[in-house]
Amino acid sequence: MNQLLLQFMLVPFLACIVLVLIHSYLGIHVLARGVIFVDIALAQIAALGTTVALLAGYESGTVAAYVCSLAFTFVGAAVFALSRSLRERVPQEAFIGITYAVASAAAILVIDKSESGHGAEQIRAILVGDLLTVTPQHVAVTAGIYAVVGAFHYAFRKRFLAISFEPDAPEQQTRAAMFWDLAFYMSFGFVITSSVQIAGVLLVFSFLIVPAVFAAMFANHLRARLLLSWAFGMFVTGAGMLGSLQFNLPTGAAVVVGFGIALVLAAIARAVMTKMGIGSDPSALSSTIRHP
């Protein structure tokens, strides 16, 4: 494979690694909360904000477009935080699914009114992004944003872990708990707004969910899951990008498909291990993961 092409892919690969590091951590929370599609819903809301900014005359990647996208994402975060108090009557996934559908339809309506005449290209960019155009400066700024979010979550990790892993505890039914839930979704919004601009909705969703699901199949403890999801995410991302080069495929779509193939193989391996009695009893998950 041409060495020049490999060097060309270095910055996009670094961008993906930055995304894997933060999304794998958030994915563990998402699995614990049972709100699997919250990421793709917030990503679609962020994409809607970017689309509205484009209609208003602001180019994608500008500060104005970012602020518009972030504002839309914060509204979605507030809706999800408030819907938590209604989960006894209506599953939170219902609100997430409705939000995703409405945001998707609204984006199509906005694109239809756009005068650019490139609606199909805009929809494609929303779905799979354009990794190959990312710059080192963009990666550095994004990494800085994620570092701040990561430091925030580390500083208040006990509160965030308690809300995610022990949602039915009495202390999680207070207004203070709702505030921390809102803080979780708003920090999530910062991550998603930056991620969608780089990788698109589908790849961002894959970074969030697939490594966390893989880790959940093979590890019980929080730290082990985090390390395993990081390793899995980095390896599959690299393999998917190399595959896209080898077979001349769209990079983002190739990485998403790579995640799907890798997860199927992992599920088969997990099933074989279970059949042979190898590994921990899955029933131990609830007792070990709650007390990191």
Nearest CA-CA partner of 52 in 108, 110, 100: 110
Can you give the pTM of this predicted structure? 0.81
Neighbours of 96 (CB within 10 A): 22
Q: Among the ranges 68-72, 118-122, 123-127, which has the highest mean pLDDT value?
A: 68-72
Distance in angstroms (rounded) separating the CA atoms of residues 108 and 100: 12
Does the pLDDT value for residue 170 go beyond 70? no
Distance from the first to the final alpha carbon of the chain? 44
Distance in angstroms (rounded) separating the CA atoms of residues 139 and 11: 8
Q: What are the angstrom distances between the C-alpha of 37 and each of 77, 127, 236, 261?
A: 13, 15, 21, 20
Q: Model confidence over 250-270: pLDDT tens digits?
A: 888 899 999 999 999 999 999
Instruction: Provide the residue type at 1 as one letter.
Output: M
Task: For residue 64, give the CATH number of its domain.
Answer: 1.10.3470.10
The pLDDT score that the predictor gives to residue 155 is 94
Average of per-residue pLDDT values in the chain: 83
Stretch 73-85: mean pLDDT, rounded? 84
Could you list the residue range(s) of the whole structural domain that residue 106 is in?
3-289
The pLDDT score that the predictor gives to residue 286 is 43
Does the pLDDT value for residue 6 go beyond 70? no
DSSP category for residue 58: P
By mean pLDDT, which of 49-58, 152-161, 218-227 is the weakest? 49-58
Number of domains in the chain: 1
